[in-house]
Amino acid sequence: MTILVTGGAGFIGSNFIIDWLAERDEPVINLDQLTYAGNLENLAELRGDPRYAFVRGDIGDRAAIADLLERHAPRAVIHFAAESHVDRSIHGPGDFIQTNVVGTFHLLECARARFSAMDAAGEAAFRFLHVSTDEVYGSLESGAPAFSEVHRYQPNSPYSASKASSDHLVRAYGHTYGLPVLTTHCSNNYGPYQFPEKLIPLMIVNALTGKFLPIYGDGRQIRDWLYVSDHCAAIRRVLDAGRPGETYNIGGWNELPNLDIVRAVVGLLDELHPRADGRSYGEQIVHVADRPGHDRRYAIDAGKIERELGWRPAETFATGIRKTVRWYLDHPDWLANVQSGAYRDWLEKNYTDRNR
């Protein structure tokens, strides 16, 4: 028995593989193209582990994927690979369409071909688990009920539109070809190994390097925050017990405005790693031009996965964010390594022209 993980060198994928192998002995193949967001250092602790294998490749490379599925005969595909950053999708949507839509289509075609060649026992065991996002549901008014699995789709960014497209393809492959698909929609993950283009690690890096902490607009946009290992546990649960064809929302029951998130990070840094001048990192907060089309509020109703599969997050925001800040403080080498020239180019592109 083996599982194939796509995008396993990224933030959530690498946490998923590490947690999987800590919990189980079933081998993992990690297929990742190693874009700017893929980092094999995340998986350094697995070097030499016979249960883990890395294959560099593109989910859109049909011949390579078909060959991989043939050789390893995984009993499940856990599909994380994607372009995942909303701001990048605004600057350049093309890669998002290519990987998230076209790439997912090719991966589904390969899975379908492989599935149709299986015997009855293989078919019964096989799962294609697609990791999607709460962003496909669009933005919520203040006070409106949280997203349930039947909330209408209304993606607002090129990123969320590309994820919505891939969700529809996955659903269609389940409906039309009988591929045993499962789709999960999770909220904002945070934790170790997150690339510092996303809010929390960006704030930590900028604070520690004496830079501004850029808050888009008024900072009152609301997100639900999910500690990454809770997300990984939820995916394992859906894989084990989810009903093919179903979708499951995964959230942390932690709806918070961005400013509160940044203030929590600042408070922990002030406590755990005070500034040399004794002042608060909060002095580095600045408000900058808002993200175009910025969704105001996301909120996840994670009741279905709790009722049907018995999963609930273990971390509160207070416990998860403390672990997270501690992790970044304890891993300065990892942080230094990911801030390459390409990373600095991105900061220049996204932040230089935003008025304060």
Cα gap 139→223, rounded to integer Å: 10
Which of ligand DAU, ligand NAD, none interacts with 174 (beta carbon under 5 to 8 A by kind)? none
Residue 89 touches ligand DAU, criterion: CB under 6 A = no
Q: Distance between alpha carbon 254 and the CA centroid of its chain, in Å?
A: 17
Q: Is 52 a catalytic residue?
A: no
Cα gap 75→131, rounded to integer Å: 17
Q: Is 159 a catalytic residue?
A: yes
Which of ligand DAU, ligand NAD, none interacts with 216 (beta carbon under 5 to 8 A by kind)? ligand DAU
Which of ligand DAU, ligand NAD, none interacts with 215 (beta carbon under 5 to 8 A by kind)? ligand DAU
Per CB under 6 A, contacts with ligand DAU among 123-162 are 133-135
Residue 284 touches ligand DAU, criterion: CB under 6 A = no
Residue 100 touches ligand DAU, criterion: CB under 6 A = no
Among 9, 46, 86, 265, binds ligand DAU (CB under 6 A): 86
Which of ligand DAU, ligand NAD, none interacts with 298 (beta carbon under 5 to 8 A by kind)? ligand DAU
| Total residues found in the chain within this entry | 356
**∠ CA(224), CA(172), CA(56), 5° rounding?**
70
Strand 188-190 to 28-32 pairing: unpaired
Cα gap 101→120, rounded to integer Å: 30
Cα gap 261→200, rounded to integer Å: 8
Contact 268, 317 (CB under 8 A): no
Q: Distance between alpha carbon 176 and the CA centroid of its chain, in Å?
A: 28
Catalytic residue, from 32, 58, 83, 134: name it: 134
Residue 84 touches ligand DAU, criterion: CB under 6 A = yes
Pick from 159, 320, 177, 187: which is nearest to 248 by CA? Answer: 187
Among 6, 162, 188, 324, binds ligand DAU (CB under 6 A): 188
Q: Distance between alpha carbon 136 and the CA centroid of its chain, in Å?
A: 14
Which of ligand DAU, ligand NAD, none interacts with 138 (beta carbon under 5 to 8 A by kind)? none
Residue 215 touches ligand DAU, criterion: CB under 6 A = yes
Q: Which is nearer to ligand DAU, 58 or 224 (CB)?
A: 224
Residue 199 touches ligand DAU, criterion: CB under 6 A = yes
Q: Is 19 a catalytic residue?
A: no
Site for ligand NAD, rule CB under 6 A: 6-7, 9-13, 32-35, 37-38, 58-60, 80-82, 84, 99, 103, 131, 133, 163, 186, 188-189, 195
In the complex, least distance from residue 157 CB atom to ligand NAD, rounded to whole angstroms: 12
Paired tokens of 230: 């809770």
Using the structure block, give the residue that is written with the tokens 């998002």. Answer: 96
Q: Indicate the residue type of 88.
A: R
Q: Nearest to ligand DAU by Cβ — which residue?
A: 133
Using the structure block, give the residue that is written with the tokens 């390579």. Answer: 64
Q: Which residues are catalytic?
A: 134-135, 159
